[in-house]
Structure 1
Amino acid sequence: MTSKLETLRSRLLAVQRELLAAAAEVNAVPSDKALQKIANLEIAIGAIESMIDDETKVQQVSTI
């Protein structure tokens, strides 16, 4: 499961980076919609990282 979560994390990071790069190209403040997408991706990425950490801890405990 950890590898699937890491793959999902990588995909979401790529999308977030694309949105950030597009926002940087515009000579104005990004739209509220763009900012919301970036923020939602950050929340999802954080949740996935938390799940990866939890699974890593469980795997470490089960190997002891």
Structure 2
Amino acid sequence: MSKLQTLLDRLKAHQHVLIVAAADHDTMPADSVLRRVAELENAIAAVEAVIAEDEEE
């Protein structure tokens, strides 16, 4: 497995943990949690784009 794929897997796992933790609360998660989830989504998309570019070469 490539280092980028490993990074991608870790980012997705961390995002999943945040989402599950937020869902375990009865109230809407704090803005900071939502912001972190969104930041992870951006990082995931960036890593996926680099992986896709590498596969095309």
What is the match of residue 55 of structure 1? 54
What is the match of residue 9 of structure 1? 8
What is the rounded CA distance, in whole Å, between the counterparts of 1:17 and 1:49 in structure 2? 17
- Please give the TM-score of this superposition, normalised by the length of structure 2: 0.97
3-state SS of 1:30 partner:
coil
What is the match of residue 62 of structure 1? none
Listed one character per residue, the Cα deviations across residues 20-53 of structure 1 (whole Å, up to 9, x for unaligned) are 0000000011100000000000000000000000
Largest Rg, 1 or 2: 1
- Please give the TM-score of this superposition, normalised by the length of structure 1: 0.86
Amino acid of the structure 1 residue aligned with 2:20: A
**How many equivalent residue pairs?**
57
Aligned Cα root-mean-square deviation (Å)? 1.0
Q: Percent identity?
A: 42
